């Protein structure tokens, strides 16, 4: 396999190592000067021929921009761009039309005002954007693959693009909450608040955020977090009834994670009959719920709704702890002592 190496700060050894990790051995690295555009264009043409042969018309390109706007870990948007970003942007501007021409495919537009997210799940980069961009891209793919009327398709794509631009403006000026960044900021504060007794302030912050967003996923995940905070706070003010009121709303809105938290809250609340909670746990266990294993384990440990069975409790709590239920480890140790 041939690959080309331009004058960026990367060595031939690094290229070979990277390609080997991807399953390509005996890679030939050819040095290409930055001005040898024809070599690049020829490589793109060869790639496009391969893609057309492999995928036909089932190709959609995503336009990429170097995001100069950064949504930081405080939720503020600032201007931040590396020195070589403009150079990379020129390269993408030059070759995107060539890809589009050779492939004859759809291109999902990306606004020049795109914002990158300091809390991106893949780490921070100029091309790791706020969650709203990915929601937009998925919606565009749905339109492109599900429409046979090109005129209607263009109208819908233009509408999605305008909606994204409005959201980006809102994020920039603080009138729209970007989902991933908002939830990650709340999670980080929760980890700190348990130590500095700032949970009441954190709950108030979440309630304020609920009033500022219309995004249904953000709303349900904020509701879930408020429910978890009321359930797991360690300052003596835990309130399972308040926890349940928020978790039930989050589950109703479709949060998968809230189902686990709701089961835990119902078991902790003790006002719901044990038999009902255990029946729910058995149903959730079939679905692969770690919390169901933990609740059933505690039932056998304490004799709530079933006969005490330390051996069975130990087995269930061990599986729950292996699947990530932290407090199951503590309960497991108490049986072993």
Are 251 and 126 members of one domain?
A: no
Predicted confidence at residue 42, as pLDDT, reads 81
Interval 176-204: pLDDT, tens: 999 999 999 999 999 887 655 688 999 99
Q: Are 309 and 316 in contact (CB under 8 A)?
A: no
Determine the pLDDT at residue 180: 97
Structural contact between residues 155 and 186, judged by C-beta atoms closer than 8 angstroms: no
Residue at 6 is within a domain:
yes
Last residue of a domain, one of 116, 149, 173: 173
In terms of domains, do 199 and 305 share one?
A: no
199-214: per-residue pLDDT in tens? Answer: 899 999 999 999 999 9
The reported pLDDT for the residue numbered 2 is 44
Judge if 335 and 314 occupy the same domain: yes
Same domain, 217 and 243: yes
Burial degree of 191 (CB within 10 A; 0-12, 13-18, 19+): exposed
103 shares a domain with 84: yes
Six token digits for residue 46: 């060869």
Among residues 209, 226, 258, the one where a domain terminates is 258
Whether residue 46 is found in the same domain as residue 162:
yes
Rg of the chain, C-alpha, whole Å: 26
CB 156 within 8 A of CB 108: no
Q: 114, 144, 173: which is the final residue of a domain?
A: 173
Residue 318 lies inside a defined structural domain of this protein: yes
> 289 and 337 share a domain?
yes
Q: Is residue 55 part of a domain?
A: yes
Closest to 163 (Cα-Cα) out of 133, 141, 118? 133
Q: Are residues 24 and 6 in the same domain?
A: yes
Give a yes or no: residue 209 inside a domain: yes
Write out the residue range of the structural domain in which residue 235 sits. 177-258
pLDDT at 207: 96
| Number of domains, the chain | 4
User: 335 and 287: one domain?
Assistant: yes
110 part of a folded domain: yes
- In this prediction, residue 248 carries a pLDDT of 97
In a domain, 264, yes or no: no
Q: Is residue 114 part of a domain?
A: yes
Positive or negative, the CA dihedral 177, 182, 186, 188 is: negative
Q: Which residues of the chain are modeled with pLDDT < 70?
A: 1-10, 22-23, 27-38, 194-197, 337
Which whole-number Å values give the CA distances from 47 to 26, 40, 44, 191, 207, in the listed order?
19, 10, 5, 47, 51
Considering the domain architecture, whether residues 30 and 41 belong to the same structural domain is answered as: no
pLDDT of residue 247: 97
Residues 45 and 61 in one domain: yes
CA 150 to CA 254: how far, in whole Å? 33
CA distance 324 to 286: 17
3-class SS of residue 337: coil
- For residue 78, what is the enclosing H or E element? strand 77-79
Regarding whether 151 and 97 lie in a shared domain, the answer is yes
Q: Which phi and psi (to 5°) does residue 303 adopt?
A: 75, 30
Does residue 207 sit within a domain?
yes
Instruction: State residue 30's pLDDT score.
Output: 62
């Amino acid at each position: 396999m041939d690959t080309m190496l331009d004058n960026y700060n990367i060595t031939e050894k690094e290229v070979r190592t990277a390609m080997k990790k991807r399953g390509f051995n005996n890679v030939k690295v050819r040095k290409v000067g930055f001005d040898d555009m024809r070599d690049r264009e020829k490589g793109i043409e060869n790639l496009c021929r391969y893609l057309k042969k492999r995928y036909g018309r089932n190709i959609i390109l995503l336009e990429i921009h170097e995001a100069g706007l950064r949504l930081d870990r405080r939720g503020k948007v600032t201007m931040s761009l590396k020195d070589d970003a403009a150079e990379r942007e020129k390269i993408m501007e030059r070759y995107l039309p060539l890809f589009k021409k050779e492939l004859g495919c759809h291109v999902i537009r990306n606004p020049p005002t795109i914002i990158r997210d300091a809390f991106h799940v893949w780490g921070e980069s100029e091309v790791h954007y706020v969650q709203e961009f990915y929601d937009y891209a998925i919606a565009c793919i749905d339109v492109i693959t599900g429409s046979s009327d090109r005129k209607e398709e263009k109208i819908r794509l233009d509408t999605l693009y305008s909606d994204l631009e409005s959201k980006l403006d809102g994020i920039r000026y603080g009138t729209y909450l970007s989902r991933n960044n908002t939830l990650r900021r709340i999670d980080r504060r929760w980890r700190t608040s348990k130590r500095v007794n700032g949970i009441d302030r954190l709950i108030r912050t979440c309630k304020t955020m609920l009033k500022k967003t219309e995004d249904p996923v953000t709303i349900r995940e904020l509701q879930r977090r408020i429910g978890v905070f009321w359930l797991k706070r360690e300052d003596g003010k835990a309130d399972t009834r308040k926890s349940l009121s928020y978790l039930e709303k989050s589950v109703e809105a479709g949060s998968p994670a809230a189902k686990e938290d709701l089961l835990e809250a119902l078991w902790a609340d003790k006002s719901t009959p044990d038999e009902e909670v255990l029946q729910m746990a058995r149903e959730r266990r079939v679905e692969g719920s770690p919390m169901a294993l933990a609740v059933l384990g505690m039932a056998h440990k304490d004799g709530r709704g079933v006969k005490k069975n330390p051996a069975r409790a130990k087995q269930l709590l061990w599986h729950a702890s292996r699947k990530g239920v932290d407090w199951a480890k503590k309960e497991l140790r108490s049986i072993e002592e």
